[in-house]
Structure 1
Amino acid sequence: MMADDYCEISEDDIKAARQIEEALENESLTSASGKIQEYLKKISDVQLNIAITGESGSGKSTFINVLRGLGDEEEFSAPTGVVETTQKATPYQHPKHQNVKLWDLPGIGTTNFKPETYLQQVGFDCYDFFIIVSSERFRVNDVNLAKKIQEMKKSFYFVRSKIDSNIDAEKKRKKNFNQDETLQNIRQNCVEGLRDHGQGFPQVFLISSFELHLYDFPNLVETMEKELPDYKRRVLLLSIPNMSLKINQRKKENLQANIWRSAF
């Protein structure tokens, strides 16, 4: 296999390589060495902060735990429940990737968190992107939050959770159950709800926290990855659970692409 088969060299990599080349040509070896160490430290120190919000009972805490590779009952897991258990923005560090934090945010529209002041209260600036979770139709508060995030030039994703429960319920209720049709109906229902509240062209990801390899989770990961800067993209990808061959292949490619950096 040739190096070009797997090396992904970003714009930041090229810029750093040019600076190091210039230092080797025009400055001292000590100066070039310092630039190399600075470059490698920049890569290793990249922090990723993911904000997850939604109404009580939407499954956001379970989603956070699954992304961290933990069950709801395990030590250091985010508390779950049918009532709102999150009273403030709470960070949960990834157990294997210390530079990744998933933030459990209080549901928007609750007594203490009004839509108009929500982003300021939860510390908007520290998050790389937002995941808005709902186990039913998305509501006006969800759309208002998305609009505010959009205004501030950050990314957000609508996640419709508990799809496995919906599928099981439909199987019991309908003799002529069709899974593809059921998923399409759920998606359309969510999209229509968002459009009714003024969200023009929404994309909704259907997720089961207990069966991540099914439904839209791989597409969600791919979408988030594409919209992140180069180094944060790598951090996100490596922190995702090993739940599909496609994800594992992307991790392999990413690690292979890093071989030249380590050798350098």
Structure 2
Amino acid sequence: MGNSVDHNSTEGIQEALQNNDREKIQQYMNLEKKSPLNIAVTGECGSGKSTFVNAFRGIQHGEEGAAPTGVVATTSEVTPYLHPNYPNVTLWDLPGIGTTKFPADKYLNLVPFERFDFFIIISAIRFRENDVMLAKKITKMGKKFYFVRSKIDFDLKNQERSQREFNAERTLSEIRKACIQGLQSASVVSPQVFLVSSFDLHLYDFALLLNTLERELPEHKRDVLKLVMPNISHEVINKKKEAFYKKIKYWAMLSATVAAVPVPGLSIAVDVVMLIGVVTQYVLGFCLDILSLKKLSARTNVPYNDLTAVIISDLAATEITADLLLKVIGRFAGTAALMAAEEGSRFIPILGIPLAMSFSFVSTNKILKIILNMLAEDAHKVLNKVMESNTSV
């Protein structure tokens, strides 16, 4: 198909811009909303797979769309769970290996491993023979896997009760060392083990796991992962901002290509629609939409009104409409003049269209940078509020 896009987004965007191909530019700009990311979460029964799936998606047990959790085996089929804000991202809760329905020797034939981008192998105690067998099979398929030792918070509490001179860092080091030695004795080469609590993602190794996944994913899926990362730290928020920021110039160039069409009023009308879409992506990515904030409130026990009270931008925690967006843009110094200059320049002979394109690029670039900075700052403020209210964070 002539309008299909490959996944080498940087080169593809540059070529589309050189050819002034608005449709293909738009396809590239929306690539991370459509590029699928399939994450497999597997391990033995009771290891905490479903709880991890829910935590990664920012969903609590019992909420609509949550993976069922419990003390008995709750996953009997390969079950997909879409990310609430990015439906192109799916976490797959795989049945426990070694069950009657999914015996270890037939597991690979019963589970469609080829569809997954990478695998999270979870264990709540120690990694067993089935986990090692799975890791070796995944390696032969040329795919990545990551060992996650779950329920670390329970381990620390149990150790604290039983030890007179308890030291959390020493205990964590001992758990990690025991897991690595166990895997090495089973012939797993250079195993990486991440210690995680699905109830407290901000603690222990979850941030390190995210950094590792980000580093090892292909380029076109790296930004997809950044946008769905839970806001567990200021570093994550800054990474999301960086992912959004590097695309602003391309949105501005897309705006300029529209400005090249000699129809009065068309550029501004198209720009407003485009800006609504881009700003909505910012709001969802920073988890500043109403639903995400309410889920955060329920998860952290910080009142919803307390979270929204620290938000400065009028574009967060609300429905973004054309009227609201134009009202907000109107407050930015010099922006209205640039937009007016773009329309006025169309009537200048010969130089009119190039001038209109230039004004359109500058105004869109400026608008998106200001809005992105505002929303990123709001995301930091919300995280600070949660940290203040939950001293353990």
TM-score by length of 1: 0.88
Residue 12 of structure 1: aligned partner? 8
Inter-partner Cα distance in structure 2 for 1:18 and 1:100? 26
Residue 126 of structure 1: aligned partner? 115
Displacement of 1:18 after TM fit? 4.4
Amino acid at match of 1:171: E
Inter-partner Cα distance in structure 2 for 1:21 and 1:236? 26
Amino acid at match of 2:239: R
Amino acid at match of 1:48: L
Contact 2:17 2:25 in 1 (8 A): no
Q: CA offsets per residue over residues 45-70 of structure 1, 9 Å max, x none?
A: 11111100111111110110011111
Displacement of 1:158 after TM fit? 0.1
Aligned partner of 2:157 among 143, 168, 174: 168
Is residue 2:75 matched to residue 1:79? no
TM-score by length of 2: 0.60
Taking structure 1 as reference, are residues 95 and 38 closer, same or farther at Cα in structure 2, changes over 3 Å only?
closer
Displacement of 1:37 after TM fit? 3.5
Deviates most, 96-105 or 190-199 = 190-199
Aligned partner of 1:245 among 221, 230, 234: 234
Displacement of 1:249 after TM fit? 1.4
Contact 1:88 1:122 in 2 (8 A): no
Residue 183 of structure 1: aligned partner? 172
| Structure index of larger Rg | 2
CA RMSD in angstroms comes to: 1.6
Inter-partner Cα distance in structure 2 for 1:21 and 1:66? 39
Contact 2:150 2:195 in 1 (8 A): yes
Aligned partner of 1:61 among 50, 56, 59: 50
Aligned partner of 2:211 among 222, 233, 238: 222
For residues 19-98 of structure 1, the aligned pairs below 5 Å read: 19-20=15-16, 24=19, 32-98=21-87
Taking structure 1 as reference, are residues 252 and 17 closer, same or farther at Cα in structure 2, changes over 3 Å only?
closer
Residue 7 of structure 1: aligned partner? none
* Equivalent pairs, count: 247
DSSP-derived class of the 2:104 partner? coil
Displacement of 1:41 after TM fit? 4.6
Question: Identity of aligned pairs, percent?
Answer: 50
Amino acid at match of 2:127: F
Gaps of at least 5 residues in structure 2 are: 1-6, 254-393
Inter-partner Cα distance in structure 2 for 1:260 and 1:120? 46
For residues 192-207 of structure 1, the aligned pairs below 5 Å read: 192-207=181-196
Displacement of 1:185 after TM fit? 0.6
Displacement of 1:202 after TM fit? 0.5
Q: CA offsets per residue over residues 167-214 of structure 1, 9 Å max, x none?
A: 111111111111111001100111111122221211100001111111
Displacement of 1:248 after TM fit? 1.4
Structure (1 or 2) with the greater helix fraction: 2
Taking structure 1 as reference, are residues 125 and 242 closer, same or farther at Cα in structure 2, changes over 3 Å only?
same
Q: CA offsets per residue over residues 100-136 of structure 1, 9 Å max, x none?
A: 1110000111112122331231111111110000000
Residue 261 of structure 1: aligned partner? 250
Inter-partner Cα distance in structure 1 for 2:78 and 2:202? 28
DSSP-derived class of the 1:117 partner? helix
Inter-partner Cα distance in structure 2 for 1:129 and 1:110? 22
